[in-house]
């Protein structure tokens, strides 16, 4: 594609087929040449003959790829495809698990002294973050019953910076009235 405007003008099915493809990507060293999609790179560590070969390897924003957690052609293609498919997105961050993604978000938005509101039916590793890691960083986690809007409102305060909801809840499948909770959070926060 010549520009992002041209890409955005395409229909959703065509964008879905073309997203994440980079001109010039080739196959593996064993099978060089142009390919429709990048090969699946499953290795955690990528070896090079010498430093010159490492420096000339394909690169992303983090530098040349040498360790799977820093990315490779497979991850880069997926991240670029997701970014291209979401209008206005500045980029995509891939995580190896949902808990890692939750931790990334919470550690990005919360600071010492902040309050995190979390449903008392949240996934246990998320709860463990609230009881351990976040507490150690000076973040207070307040629990609330997702089926009780008054419980949610009572937990809100001027230091509330983030709300972690699970609806339906992990294991219990309780469904929270999310549209009903939002105005209560705004009212509780602005009146404090």
What's the pLDDT tens digit per position in 68-89?
666 677 777 888 889 989 888 8
**DSSP readout, 18-75?**
HTT--TT-B--TTS-SB-SSPPP---SB---SSHHHHHTS-EETTEE--BGGG--HHH
Considering the entire predicted model, what is its pTM?
A: 0.64
Q: What is the pLDDT of residue 23?
A: 64
Residue 65 located in a structural domain:
yes
Q: How many domains does the chain have?
A: 2
Q: Of 181 and 148, which is predicted with more confidence?
A: 148
What's the pLDDT tens digit per position in 115-158?
999 998 898 999 999 999 999 999 999 999 988 888 888 888 99
Domain extent for 30: 4-85
- Looking at the fold, whether 78 and 120 belong to one and the same domain comes out as no
The CATH number assigned to the domain holding 152 equals: 3.40.640.10
């Amino acid at each position: 594609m010549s520009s992002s405007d041209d890409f955005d003008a395409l229909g959703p099915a065509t964008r879905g087929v073309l997203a994440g493809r980079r001109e010039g990507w080739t196959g593996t060293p064993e099978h060089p040449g142009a390919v429709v999609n990048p090969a699946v790179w499953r290795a955690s560590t990528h070896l090079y003959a010498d430093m010159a070969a490492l420096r000339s390897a394909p690169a992303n924003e983090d530098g040349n790829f040498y360790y799977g957690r820093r990315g490779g052609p497979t991850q880069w293609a997926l991240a670029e495809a997701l970014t291209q498919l979401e209008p206005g997105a500045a980029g995509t961050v891939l995580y190896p698990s949902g808990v890692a993604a939750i931790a990334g978000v919470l550690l990005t938005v919360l600071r010492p002294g902040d309050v995190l509101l979390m449903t008392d039916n949240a996934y246990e590793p998320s709860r463990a973050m609230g009881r351990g890691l976040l507490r150690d960083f000076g973040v207070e986690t307040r629990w609330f019953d997702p089926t009780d809007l008054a419980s949610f409102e009572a937990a809100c305060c001027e230091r509330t910076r983030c709300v972690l909801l699970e609806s339906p809840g992990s294991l219990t499948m309780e469904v929270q009235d999310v549209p009903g909770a939002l105005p209560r959070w705004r009212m509780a926060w602005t009146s404090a």
